[in-house]
């Protein structure tokens, strides 16, 4: 990649970096290496605004913002034309992808810290940034504080509600601002998937079941959380799997399409059996997997409530948790190597907490159903989605469908 296609903004956001003789040609950096590359080449500290699609394999135009006005002798700042013609626009950019974002970030974070009697952050580090949100980790007195701005305003409202009514469920929330779609939280501990203590995992599932059975569904509905009735989801799944054109458009391989379409009768039977069992739809986390759970000194904690639902079958949460934990790529997780019967232990913990220990076979089948549930919801959201990386859309749908095709053997045989 030639860095003539790289844009570095001045801190004032109206000037960009120029080099008289043209930029040197450098190897294509990885997403995480872009800031380091600029630092090593020009001794320039920058903040990543947009990677131009590098993280998705797209050769786009990365954009960064300088954190200093000081430059090496061979570099200069050039004013951007008033109509912006000197710098190609970034259509649909979120605020964290635009020039001038870094001081806004600092002001918001420092204001929250000051409100809690804390000093300004010692350091800031990007954890993730895309069209859907950005997450920053800050070090404050040697402890981690997380700053998130989300494109889903509902996440902030739900987090604020849960922090008030279920404080033991979440990491400590320092701020939840609907006006800016910003969350600031203290660290709640270690991500669950890096913990080898079986009790931590079963505690997380018990905590999830407790949330499902005690949260106020009507309050979540008022906050805008959708409801996903089980049989309605079943109908949507069946119609979705029947559309070969839709599955193909998502890039699903023909053999996986054939596997899922052949399983449609068994999938319908499994949804019907789950409905007949009688568990009601309950409040749902919506994205309950072991990297959205934390293990600290007390109870297990849950975060990232962007997909929360006011009502869904509780096995949709548990099924996705199990699918994530049991994925073949995670065969070397400490817990997987120590407990060959991990699935049984996790299912028992959740079902006992929910009060239906007899439903283990249904929960096993629901691993597939939960993946299809998620694929259908994300298809509705992202089928026609257009973001800041041309020709790219979030690839959740083929990911979940690929996992679902692998889980088809869990389904009961259907005769006739």
| The pLDDT value given to residue 3 | 53
Q: What mean pLDDT is predicted for residues 381-409?
A: 95
Examine the pLDDT at 31 and tell me if it is beyond 60. Answer: no
Alpha helices in 134-263 (DSSP H): 153-165, 198-214, 217-222, 230-242, 244-249, 254-262
Cβ-Cβ contacts under 8 Å for 43 (sequence gap 6 or more) = 72
Hey, which bits of 26-142 come out as E strands? 46-50, 63-66, 75-79, 123-130, 133-140
What is the bridge-based pairing of β-strands 7-9 and 63-66?
parallel
Residue 212 near residue 320, CB atoms below 8 Å: no
| The pLDDT value given to residue 20 | 56
Examine the pLDDT at 414 and tell me if it is beyond 80. Answer: no
**pLDDT tens-digit series, residues 2-24:** 555 788 899 888 888 876 555 55
**pLDDT tens-digit series, residues 328-373:** 998 888 888 899 999 999 999 999 999 999 999 999 999 999 999 9
Q: Cα separation of 267 and 247, whole Å?
A: 17
Cβ-Cβ contacts under 8 Å for 97 (sequence gap 6 or more) = 49, 50, 63, 90, 129, 131, 388
Q: Which of 31-40, 171-180, 223-232, 393-402 has the lowest mean pLDDT?
A: 31-40
| The pLDDT value given to residue 321 | 98
| The pLDDT value given to residue 262 | 97
- pTM to 2 decimal places: 0.93
Which CATH superfamily does the domain covering 97-186 fall into? Phosphorylase Kinase; domain 1 (3.30.200.20)
| The pLDDT value given to residue 334 | 81
More confident residue, 89 or 404: 404
| The pLDDT value given to residue 163 | 97
What is the bridge-based pairing of β-strands 309-312 and 227-228?
parallel
Residue 388 near residue 50, CB atoms below 8 Å: yes
Q: Which residue has the tokens 């912006």?
A: 84
Q: What mean pLDDT is predicted for residues 122-139?
A: 94
| The pLDDT value given to residue 371 | 98
Residue 46 near residue 67, CB atoms below 8 Å: yes
Q: Is 234 helix (H, G, I), strand (E, B) or coil?
A: helix
Identify the bridge partners of residue 17 per DSSP, sorted by sequence position.
Answer: 77
Q: Give residue 75's pLDDT band: very low, low, confident or very high (50, 70, 90).
A: confident
Examine the pLDDT at 304 and tell me if it is beyond 70. Answer: yes
Q: What are the CA-CA distances from residue 51 to residues 65, 130, 244, 408 (Å)?
A: 12, 9, 34, 37
Phi-psi region of 251 (alpha: psi -120 to 50; beta: other; left: phi over 0): left
**pLDDT tens-digit series, residues 201-211:** 999 999 999 99
Task: Sort 298 into a burial class: Cβ within 10 Å, 0-12 / 13-18 / 19+.
Answer: exposed
**pLDDT tens-digit series, residues 138-158:** 999 999 999 999 998 899 999
What mean pLDDT, rounded, does the chain reach?
Answer: 91
Q: Cα separation of 58 and 319, whole Å?
A: 33
Closest CA to 284 of 352, 370, 181, 183: 370
| The pLDDT value given to residue 79 | 84
> Tell me: domain 190-410, CATH 3.40.190.10, correct?
no
Residues of the chain with CATH 3.90.1200.10: 190-410
| The pLDDT value given to residue 415 | 58
Q: Which two tokens stand for residue 398?
A: 């083929």
Q: Cα separation of 95 and 85, whole Å?
A: 20
Cβ-Cβ contacts under 8 Å for 50 (sequence gap 6 or more) = 62, 63, 90, 93, 97, 129, 388
Q: How many helices (H) and strands (E) does the chain have?
A: 14, 16
| The pLDDT value given to residue 84 | 54
More confident residue, 24 or 104: 104
More confident residue, 252 or 28: 252
């Amino acid at each position: 990649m030639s860095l003539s296609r790289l844009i570095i903004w001045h801190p004032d956001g109206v000037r960009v970096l120029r080099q008289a003789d043209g930029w040197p040609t450098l190897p294509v950096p990885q997403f995480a290496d872009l800031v380091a590359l600029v630092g090593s080449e020009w001794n320039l500290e920058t903040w990543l605004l947009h990677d131009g699609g590098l993280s998705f394999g797209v050769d786009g135009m990365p954009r960064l913002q300088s954190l200093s006005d000081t430059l090496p002798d061979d570099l200069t700042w050039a004013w951007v034309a008033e109509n912006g013609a000197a710098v190609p626009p970034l259509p649909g950019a979120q605020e964290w992808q635009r020039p001038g974002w870094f001081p806004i970030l600092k002001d918001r974070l420092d204001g929250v810290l000051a409100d809690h009697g804390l000093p300004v952050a010692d350091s800031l580090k990007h954890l993730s940034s895309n069209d859907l949100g950005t997450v920053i980790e800050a070090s404050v007195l040697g402890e981690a504080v997380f700053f998130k701005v989300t494109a889903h305003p509902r996440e902030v409202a739900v987090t604020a509600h849960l922090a008030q009514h279920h404080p033991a469920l979440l990491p400590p929330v320092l701020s939840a601002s609907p006006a800016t779609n910003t969350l600031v939280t203290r660290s709640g501990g270690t991500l669950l998937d890096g913990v080898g203590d079986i009790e931590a995992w079963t505690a997380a599932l018990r905590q999830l079941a407790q949330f499902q059975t005690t949260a106020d569904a009507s309050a979540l509905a008022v906050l805008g959380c959708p409801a996903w009735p089980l049989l309605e989801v079943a109908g949507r799944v069946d119609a979705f799997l029947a559309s070969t054109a839709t599955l193909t458009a998502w890039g699903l391989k023909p053999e996986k399409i054939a596997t899922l379409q052949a399983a449609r009768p068994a999938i319908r039977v499994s949804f019907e059996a789950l409905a007949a069992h009688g568990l009601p739809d309950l409040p749902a986390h919506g994205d309950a997997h072991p990297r959205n759970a934390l293990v600290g000194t007390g109870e297990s904690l849950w975060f990232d409530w962007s997909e929360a639902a006011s009502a869904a079958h509780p096995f949709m949460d548990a099924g996705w948790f199990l699918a994530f934990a049991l994925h073949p790529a995670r065969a070397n997780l400490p817990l997987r190597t120590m407990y060959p019967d991990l699935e049984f232990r996790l299912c028992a913990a959740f079902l006992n907490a929910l009060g239906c220990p007899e439903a283990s076979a249904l929960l096993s089948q629901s691993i597939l159903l939960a993946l299809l549930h998620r694929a259908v919801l994300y298809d509705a959201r992202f089928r026609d989605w257009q973001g800041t990386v041309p020709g790219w859309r979030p690839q959740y749908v083929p990911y979940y469908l690929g996992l679902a095709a692998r889980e088809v053997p869990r389904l009961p045989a259907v005769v006739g």
